[in-house]
Amino acid sequence: MSRSAHPAGPRHADVYPEGHYSAPPADLNGLDEKVWAKTVTRNADGVATVGGIEVTRLAEEFGTPAYFLDEADFRARCRAWADAFGKDADVFYAGKAFLSRAVVKWLHEEGLNLDVCSGGELTTALDAGMPADRIAFHGNNKSPQEIERAVRVGVGRIVLDSFQEIVRVAHIAQSLGKRQRVQIRVTVGVEAHTHEFIATAHEDQKFGIPLAGGQAAEAVRRALQLDGLEVIGIHSHIGSQIFDTSGFEVAAHRVVGLLKQIRDEHGVELPEIDLGGGLGIAYTPDDDPREPHDIAKALNEIVTRECEAARLRTPRISVEPGRAIVGPTAFTLYEVGTIKPLEGLRTYVSVDGGMSDNIRTALYDAEYSVALVSRRSDAEPMLSRVVGKHCESGDIVVKDAFLPADLAPGDLIAVPATGAYCRSMASNYNHALRPPVVAVADGGARVIVRRETEEDLLRLDVG
Ligand SMILES: *Cc1c(COP(=O)(O)O)cnc(C)c1O
């Protein structure tokens, strides 16, 4: 794998430049069920289908780039999480991963609750009929207007993130003649095993109130004294794209330690703990995420054990998966525009989208996989980098991937596992038109978020 040793250009299968990849997959036509939405398969003609519809037909009808979301898969994942945690726990879908009115309706129908972290997300949730008491409001700097609206409509909980916010929410609730249910978000000093930019529970960061130095205990002390607040529990979110529960174990241990301290000091047993989200998904076949059932079992055991040791009643647990529900359910469909082989390096494959519809590769060095989906190919594997059309050399969608060497302009390629943090982080960079999200179910496809138009761009430009 050394750089000096690659003699033969990008299609040579023995020696490649450095990268994330291991070796070409045995079958370039395979659509590994680990990374593709549940109903994705390849038909007898070699064309990939989702919900029974060929991607070629979808591209004709909806254009590219576009996100296609497998509704049956989304609903099944909601049910799997709800069933795994059962009646004695609450599952909150993290709306920031991807939120639209259709998604809110599915969540409502499947019995999930919803996390929002802005006025815009709250509006979407309420507009689509999510009952306010099933909404949790998050964020490290909620505006007074956002807080007032959340209290007024009666959100089920506000997660307090700072000393200022304790006072702000209490004051607003009191002035509205209300008592707001709140949790206090603490940082437990755990750094999840994940990329630095998305790990959130170590102490040197903006979220939460540190347990260290007694700050979190002081926050609880103050909140308990305020009439406008009903303190229902402690919240901890340790990071994202996490594959094992050891981080949650340490977090639960420390949070229960705080519950015990609160009981000893105030004679109050807080009834809830929230362990956050962050459960990982398979972006490539090398990732091995755990099933919701295993996660629920592990978290329940950890909390029960810790509470028994502290002689506390076991609190009601809540969790907040975002990525683990929506991430695997969608793929992005692109059309190949240009193909540029770089001798001895790799082949650059340019698609009609890029960092405006998937910023995660540029932002987090995220890994993705990719496949030719408009036809089958038996050509040799070609080490490729899938790039977008933006004015930025870091505009990379898939850093290292193998595509068939006969790839040609006009072919459709798809990147799986783009349901989370892709459309929700999409931008208009280079005045790109943000792609639509199309829900596919039972042989039918419908747009749930439409493609942006040039008129949309001009409408905002009022100069
Ligand atoms: C982002 C976030 C989540 C969801 O994270 P995922 O990695 O999508 O599961 C849950 N809770 C909080 C507080 C978050 O900030």
Q: What is the pLDDT of residues 387-407, one digit of tens each?
A: 999 999 999 999 999 999 999
Say which CATH topology domain 12-70+328-460 has.
Answer: Lyase, Ornithine Decarboxylase; Chain A, domain 1 (2.40.37)
Q: Residue 103: CA atoms inside 13 Å, Cβ hemisphere, count?
A: 31
CA distance 454 to 463: 16
Residue 362 confidence (pLDDT): 96
DSSP 13: S
Q: Evaluate: CB of 355 within 6 angstroms of ligand 1.
A: no
**Which residue of 159, 188, 237 sits with most ligand 1 atoms within 8 Å of its CB, as the best mutation to test the pocket?**
237
- Ligand 1, atom 3, lies closest to the CA of 277
CB atoms within 10 A of CB 309: 12
Where do the CATH 2.40.37.10 domains begin and end in the chain?
Answer: 12-70+328-460
Per the annotation, the verdict on 78 as an active-site residue is no
CA 278 – ligand 1 centroid, Å: 5
Q: What is residue 196's predicted lDDT score, i.e. its pLDDT?
A: 46
Q: Does the Cβ of 149 fall within 6 Å of ligand 1?
A: no
Q: Which atom of ligand 1 is nearest to the CA of 420?
A: 8
Start and end residues for every CATH 3.20.20.10 domain found in the chain: 138-321
Q: pLDDT value at position 56?
A: 98
**Whole-number pLDDT of residue 26:** 84
Q: Are 370 and 382 in contact (CB under 8 A)?
A: no
The tokens of 386 are what?
């899938």
DSSP code at position 62? H
Atom index in ligand 1 nearest the CA of residue 279 equals 9
**In contact, 251 and 201? CB cutoff 8 Å:** yes
User: pLDDT at position 12, please?
Assistant: 40
Residues of the chain scoring pLDDT < 70 = 1-22, 193-202
Residue 222: per-residue pLDDT: 98
**pLDDT for 153:** 98
pLDDT, residue 197, reads 44
Atom of ligand 1 nearest to the CA of 324: 9
Residue 312 CA to residue 299 CA, distance in Å, equals 16
33 Cα to the center of ligand 1, angstroms: 24
Residue 149 · residue 119 · CB < 8 Å? yes
Degrees to nearest 5, angle at CA 283 with 278 and 289: 50
Instruction: Look at residue 24 in the predicted model and tell me its pLDDT.
Output: 86
Whether the bond between 289 and the residue before it is cis, its omega within 30 degrees of 0, is no
Q: Is the CB of 419 under 6 A from ligand 1?
A: no
322 pocket-lining for ligand 1 (C-beta < 6 Å): yes
Which residue in 140, 113, 249, 106 sits closest to 190, CA to CA?
A: 249
Look at residue 244 in the predicted model and tell me its pLDDT. 85
Q: Please give the class, per CATH, of domain 138-321.
A: alpha beta
The finding on whether 432 has its CB within 6 A of some atom of ligand 1 is: no
Q: Is the CB of 328 under 6 A from ligand 1?
A: no
Contacts of 198 (CB under 8 A, 6+ apart): 239, 240, 241, 364
How many Å apart are CA 11 and CA 365, to the nearest integer?
24
pLDDT value at position 425? 98
pTM confidence score: 0.94
